[in-house]
Amino acid sequence: MSKEKEKQKSTLQSNLTRRDALKLIGAGATVLIAADQLHSAEASRSSPSTQTDAVIVGAGFAGLSAARTLMRQGKKVVVLEARDRVGGRVKAAKIAGRAIDGGGMWVGPTQTRLLDLIKEYGLHTVRQFETGNNIAEIDGKRLTSSGETLGFDPQTQAEYDRIIRDLTKLSDQIPLDAPWNMSRAEDYDHMTAEDWFVSQTKNIAILGFLRAFVRGVFTADSYQISFLFFLFFLRSGDNYDTLYGFENAAQAWTVKETMHQVAVRVAAELGSAIVLQAPVRSISQDAAGVVVNSDKGIWKCDYAIVAVPLPLSVRIVYQPVLPPERDILAQHMPMGSVIKYWVAYEKPFWRERGLNGMLQSDQPPSAFISGDFTPSEGHPGLLAGFIEAHNAMAWTGRPMEERKKLVVERLVNFLGPEAANPIDYEDQDWPADPWSRGCYGASMTPGIMTTVGKSIRQPHVRIHWAGTETSTKWMGYIDGAIRSGERAAAEVLARLKTEVQPRQANRFR
């Protein structure tokens, strides 16, 4: 064995008691390192084991918010993040030399926790551009109308309004903390959103629009998600109109400096508590504490908060193993699929034709073909849109040039030949990203909410769960992620106050 390896082995051994090592090994096949490999694992190369009050897994908005809350209460925390950056599903990108958001970017008036952060860190919101006409392509027809209205004929509009009213009446009845307690919960959970839509109307245009709504908002298809989950999600984000709309709704503003800057500012407050490129591989625990094993080292703590996308949380190996309910939940709550694209032009030429750049469609590959994000100085002209749900599944993993061709052709089709020559194109293929494996968030399939749904926030002994999927308010959104992190931190704080023995009593220390 080389001198360097001998040194690494003795460092690790002096920081891990034999019992700790045996405990990790005791997890057998479920732990990524075995006895003889302990010294050669990435962990031992990078750092010795370290003791802290709480380890947080994931530096998305949920993990960052959990860490911030605990730190502000004087607790010692470490945030272990797999990527080489913070922000998770909120990511900085560039087009035509300008900073843009490749992930989450909008904030609305009732997303108060996110608005508080934007204000606290001195960042600025910019109103979504909507002046002019939009084009909606529904049932093979192009409808042009002003602002956000759809341009339906009066009869179709009346029927659509009636359906949305009924939907809102139902979603208003959801108890956010316990949607499984809603009256007729099982009936609603045993049907898909699609089942309910087709029970309400035969109008092809309305059906097309409702399906496009699900693709655009859930990045899943209406035949994939539980209707009870759908109702819960609407209530969690206020209601259907708020989720769909721009003005005074979920898509009201973007952040001038980019949404990613909000995460960067929170991370700056946390400083060296964040360890990047530290994917967590396994977490073991017993009555004395928790051992978190990452590629950058082993951390011991009283409690852990796992703040990763819910379906990905079961790619970490737990000892003892997770209760079956939590594992089933993760297996039946897949991530949605989305590819977000940006297209840059010399100028926003569509504005000269009275268009606001907002293009929607019930046809593949995009429900939200584009919105206008041109900066206040008027150039470059920027459009952004999404390929969602089954269309994203078909287009993920392919060369970006192919998607560029697809998107530009679609824009030419709507906006004319001027759209054929963008000065730049950029996209983010989220399903291809190993630390998200899809986006915007995860949705429950039928029959899950009323069976194992209750396990969504139940701690696994000393492991607490955060992440936007665990939020009751604004689930699936950045605001929900922040709330989930703060909730998990409050749970851990309460336990640190009441349950933790004096330090010397913990044999890890």
Ligand X SMILES: Cc1cc2nc3c(=O)[nH]c(=O)nc-3n(C[C@H](O)[C@H](O)[C@H](O)COP(=O)(O)OP(=O)(O)OC[C@H]3O[C@@H](n4cnc5c(N)ncnc54)[C@H](O)[C@@H]3O)c2cc1C
Where does this chain bind ligand X (CB under 6 A)? 57-63, 80-83, 88-90, 103-106, 279-280, 307-309, 312, 316, 338, 340, 430, 435-436, 439-441, 467-468, 476-479, 481
Give min distance, CB of 250 to ligand X, in A.
7
- Which is closer to ligand X, CB of 62 or CB of 298? 62
Tokens 């709704």: give the residue. 249
3-class DSSP state for residue 147?
Answer: coil
- Which is closer to ligand X, CB of 182 or CB of 338? 338
- Which is closer to ligand X, CB of 197 or CB of 410? 410
- Which is closer to ligand X, CB of 30 or CB of 145? 30
- Which is closer to ligand X, CB of 296 or CB of 410? 296
- Which is closer to ligand X, CB of 279 or CB of 334? 279
Give min distance, CB of 393 to ligand X, in A.
15
Report how far residue 187's alpha carbon sits from residue 228's, in angstroms, rounded to the nearest whole number: 8
- Do residues 343 and 422 lie in contact, with contact meaning Cβ atoms separated by under 8 Å? yes
- Do residues 331 and 314 lie in contact, with contact meaning Cβ atoms separated by under 8 Å? yes
Give min distance, CB of 91 to ligand X, in A.
8
Give min distance, CB of 74 to ligand X, in A.
23
φ, ψ dihedrals at 477, nearest 5°: -115, 170
Give min distance, CB of 336 to ligand X, in A.
9
Give min distance, CB of 404 to ligand X, in A.
17
Give min distance, CB of 25 to ligand X, in A.
21
- Which is closer to ligand X, CB of 446 or CB of 476? 476
- Which is closer to ligand X, CB of 207 or CB of 431? 431
- Do residues 341 and 117 lie in contact, with contact meaning Cβ atoms separated by under 8 Å? no
Tokens 């929170």: give the residue. 266
3-class DSSP state for residue 275?
Answer: strand
Give min distance, CB of 105 to ligand X, in A.
5
Whether the ω angle into residue 380 lies within 30 degrees of 0, i.e. cis, is yes
Closest by Cα among 348, 424, 336, 349 to 388: 336
φ, ψ dihedrals at 33, nearest 5°: -120, 140
Report how far residue 359's alpha carbon sits from residue 411's, in angstroms, rounded to the nearest whole number: 9
Q: Count other Cβ atoms within 10 Å, centred on residue 313.
A: 25
Closest by Cα among 171, 288, 306, 314 to 230: 171
Give min distance, CB of 438 to ligand X, in A.
8
Give min distance, CB of 381 to ligand X, in A.
20
Give min distance, CB of 224 to ligand X, in A.
18
- Which is closer to ligand X, CB of 309 or CB of 380? 309
H helix intervals, 151-203 = 154-172, 185-189, 193-200
- Do residues 475 and 441 lie in contact, with contact meaning Cβ atoms separated by under 8 Å? yes
- Which is closer to ligand X, CB of 59 or CB of 174? 59
- Do residues 88 and 435 lie in contact, with contact meaning Cβ atoms separated by under 8 Å? yes
Query: In this structure, is the dihedral angle defined by the CA atoms of residues 441, 438, 382 and 257, taken in order, positive or negative?
Result: positive
- Do residues 295 and 277 lie in contact, with contact meaning Cβ atoms separated by under 8 Å? yes
- Which is closer to ligand X, CB of 138 or CB of 339? 339
3-class DSSP state for residue 195?
Answer: helix
Q: What is the DSSP string of 332-370?
A: TSPBP-EEEEEEEESS-GGGGGTEEEEEEESSTT-SEEE
Report how far residue 272's alpha carbon sits from residue 493's, in angstroms, rounded to the nearest whole number: 21
29 half-sphere exposure, CB direction, 13 A CA radius: 0
From residue 404, give the alpha-carbon distance in Å to each of 105, 234, 410. Answer: 21, 32, 10
- Which is closer to ligand X, CB of 105 or CB of 449? 105
Give min distance, CB of 280 to ligand X, in A.
4
